[in-house]
Amino acid sequence: MTTASTTGGDYQGSVCPHDCPSTCALEIEVRRDEAGLGRGIGAVRGAEANSYTAGVICAKVARYAERVHHPDRLTRPLLRTGPKGSGQFREIGFEEALDRVAAAFMERTAQHGSETVWPYYYAGTMGLVQRDGIHRLRHAMGYSGQLNTICTALCEAGWIAGVGKYGGPDPREMAESDLIVMWGGNPVATQVNVMTHVTRARKARGAKLVVVDPYRTGTAAAADMHLAVRPGTDGALACAVMHVAFRDGHADRDYMARLSDAPAELEAHLAARGPDWASAITGLSVAEIEAFAALYGRTERAYIRCGYGFSRSRNGAASLHAVTCLPTVTGKWRHLGGGAFWSNRAIYHWDKSLIEGHDLRDPRIRILDQSRIGAVLTGDRCDLGARPPVTALLIQNTNPAVVAPASEKVRRGFLRDDLFTCVHEQFMTETAKYADVVLPATMFVEHDDLYQAGGHSHIQLGPKLVEPPGECRSNHEVLQGLARRLGARHRGFDMTAREIADATLRASGWPGWDEIAAGRWLDVQPGFAESHFIEGFGHKDGRFHFAPDWAAIGPDHTVMPDLPDHMAAIDAADDDHPFRMVTAPARQFLNTTFTETPGSRKREIEPKAMLHPRDAERLGVADGGRVRLGNARGEVVVTAKLAEGQQEGVVIVESVWPNADFEGGVGINLLVSDDPGPPKGGAVFHDTAVWVRPAVAAVESLAAE
């Protein structure tokens, strides 16, 4: 798609590559040289013609030119010259850099076996070829596997437990709902397009928006009702709402008899879980719970949009499952604009064998937990057993030195002398600073890729639009270079990224690249009956499961509740740690991406701890004063910000700021545990008990002594 622009460039179709369920359809202004080659980008806007994006994108991506043309972008391969983490490097050639990486991998493999190399990646780009191609090298070489737990594992477990399939009512149907419940998510900051469809419903139908979130986010501030639960108590709220539905005649018994597994057991189980019970756990008043339950009970077209936030606790999978039970008890899945939604990932039915090299996979190779990178690198026997240590890393699209839990362990791991680390990055992140070899990476406008959307239903293409700066290479090109040197054989290494994308589309039953490009995108939302589970849910018996088979989902299943419940497994506050800390996403950042762009930094200003004014008063802390937060893992110092709209005993630190932006260079994930959330792992970023003290008081009391 090419249209004229007013500022000289032409607009080309693309798609936002970032880890955000909105996966916005973009139009990017391309600046060209005399020969017509794309040399840079100008304005970035949302595609009006895409029915989900509807012309709206977030501010941080609208400013993308400042990221592509950032003066600090990495453009040359670097070799470490100073101590690990010092940031001292010298430039080397790309071929030499790849030679060194391959030699290090071969040398360590000879010493310890192939599992000693851990290709470590995540979702800095969501393009299927550039993100997931690393598995092809992994499988070809027998390198260690990665269990992806840093983001979606707890949601996956909770959703699949009841529904049995990753899909649901078309997210655009929110515009036709009378009640949208945003449960544990903050789309104003994290996926702005949800708000487009909510706004449509409010304008056209007078729809209500209810937000369940421990603090007054931008989304909560815009809501008709904000339920400021204590973190990690959503299961209790969900149970009480179902209790009221049974009590007040809003339960759809015919529906449950037809399409659920254990409605009678559920009703009996919920008898003791009413609003009084839930009030004591959630900290909401009985009146708030009754009001929400009544509104939900009487509204047919009620759409629950599950965010990720409330899953990031030790009981997160149980809580998510409990929430998905609501539309089943009340039969709301049947209605247009009704039901619940988390992710549409199953509707794409990708055949990723070419991208990931499935044919080469050896099931005997160990799989290491991504969120426990600190434990793995510091040799924790829980993770390694009797198998070899990890002595070499290839890292693409992720910044674990900042984003992973228990960051002190991560730091110690990266500092190990016997560890060889190659980081392929766009910027000198804190992870890249620990590397022995840093390789410069392309950005999405500089390489070809294929994208799916978790939060809607479009397959989209992101073609290469501009030439990369300096020597930047795409992930695929780096993998090709390493494969050649390591002797890894697979036809995927001999194809271009676009050829792989095209072949993957066709193998998955979709039209090829050119055909999709001609139509700009492909909307693959299944029809109403399938999306609303009219003929049945995803399990073999076609029923929604109130009593999940947790054992089929993950190894740590014995701790899971038999029926939806408040699972009291959280890091509860106690006398020594009276606050529950949530590290919710900052609006102008995307994880740590955009922490390098001036437009985002100047709006976020600095890391802050949001405290209830009464807590602040009790602590003797003023707005703008410094506070120290701590637990057994350590302490961090941040600026206090007084905030109404959250309960006392709750502290919010919006994230993910670089560690370097905190006093002493230790970031917020120092305090976050790397305990795996059951039943199949998952990082528990919003499940941390801490103490809070005035930061200056400690110094004063020392002085007084």
Ligand X SMILES: Nc1nc2c(c(=O)[nH]1)N[C@H]1C(S)=C(S)[C@@H](COP(=O)(O)OP(=O)(O)OC[C@H]3O[C@@H](n4cnc5c(=O)[nH]c(N)nc54)[C@H](O)[C@@H]3O)O[C@H]1N2
User: Angle 234-247/263-270 helices, nearest 10 degrees?
Assistant: 110
Q: HEC states along 189-253? A: HHCCHHHHHHHHHHHHHCCEEEEECCCCCHHHHCCCEEECCCCCCHHHHHHHHHHHHHHCCCCCH
- Which residues on neighbouring strands pair with residue 394, listed in sequence order? 119, 422
| Contact call for residues 188 and 217 (beta carbons, < 8 A) | yes
User: Considering the complex, what minimum distance in angstroms separates the CB of residue 17 from ligand SF4?
Assistant: 8
Residue 270 binds ligand X, judged by CB under 6 A:
no
CB 334 within 8 A of CB 213: no
| Strand-pair partners of 611 | 642
**Structural contact between residues 650 and 215, judged by C-beta atoms closer than 8 angstroms:** yes
212 is an interface residue for ligand X by CB under 6 A? yes
Q: Would you state the structure tokens that stand for residue 312, as one six-digit string?
A: 């990031």
Stretch near ligand SF4 under the rule CB under 6 A, chosen from 20-28, 204-212, 408-416, 697-705? 20-28
Exposure of 330 in the CB half-sphere (CA atoms within 13 A): 33
The 663-702 site mask, x for binding ligand X (CB under 6 A), equals -----xx--x------------xx----------------
Confirm or reject binding of residue 608 to ligand X (CB under 6 A): no
Which parts of 74-133 interact with ligand X (CB under 6 A)? 122-125, 130
Query: Closest CB to ligand SF4 among 45 and 165?
Result: 45
What whole-number distance in Å separates Cα of residue 128 and Cα of residue 233?
35
- Is residue 457 a contact point for ligand X (CB under 6 A)? no
151 binds Mo ion (CB under 5 A): yes
SS3 of the chain: helix, strand, coil, percent, to 5: 40, 20, 45
C-beta of 270: minimal distance to Mo ion in Å? 32
Scanning 151-159, 319-327, 507-515, 645-653 for contacts with Mo ion by CB under 5 A, the matching segment is: 151-159
61 part of the interface to ligand SF4, by CB under 6 A: yes
Mapped onto helix, strand or coil, the DSSP state of residue 270 is helix
Size of the site for ligand X (CB under 6 A): 61
Binding partner at 260 among ligand X, Mo ion, ligand SF4, none, C-beta below 5 to 8 Å by kind: none
Considering only residues 644 to 663 of the shown chain, the ones binding ligand X according to CB under 6 A are 655-656
**CA-based angle 415:594:316, to the nearest 5?**
75
Q: Which does 213 bind (CB under 5 to 8 A by kind): Mo ion, ligand SF4, ligand X, none?
A: ligand X
Under the criterion CB under 6 A, does residue 310 sit at the interface with ligand X?
A: yes
Angle at CA of residue 128, ends 531 and 320, nearest 5°:
45
Contact set for ligand SF4, span 553-592 (CB under 6 A) = 590
Q: Does 260 engage in binding with ligand X (CB under 6 A)?
A: no
- Strand (E) or helix (H) holding 505: helix 497-507
At position 188, the amino acid (one-letter code) is: V
590 near ligand X, rule: CB under 6 A: yes
**CA-closest candidate to residue 137, choices 158, 117, 112, 151:** 117
Pick from ligand X, ligand SF4, Mo ion, none: which does 23 bind, CB < 5 to 8 A by kind? ligand SF4
Which residues would be at the binding site for ligand SF4 (CB under 6 A)? 16, 18, 20, 22-24, 57-58, 61, 191-192, 590
Which residues would be at the binding site for Mo ion (CB under 5 A)? 151
Which residues would be at the binding site for ligand X (CB under 6 A)? 19-20, 122-125, 130, 150-151, 183-186, 189-191, 212-215, 217, 229, 231-232, 234, 307-310, 312-313, 396-399, 403, 424-427, 429, 441, 475, 582-587, 589-593, 655-656, 668-669, 672, 685-686
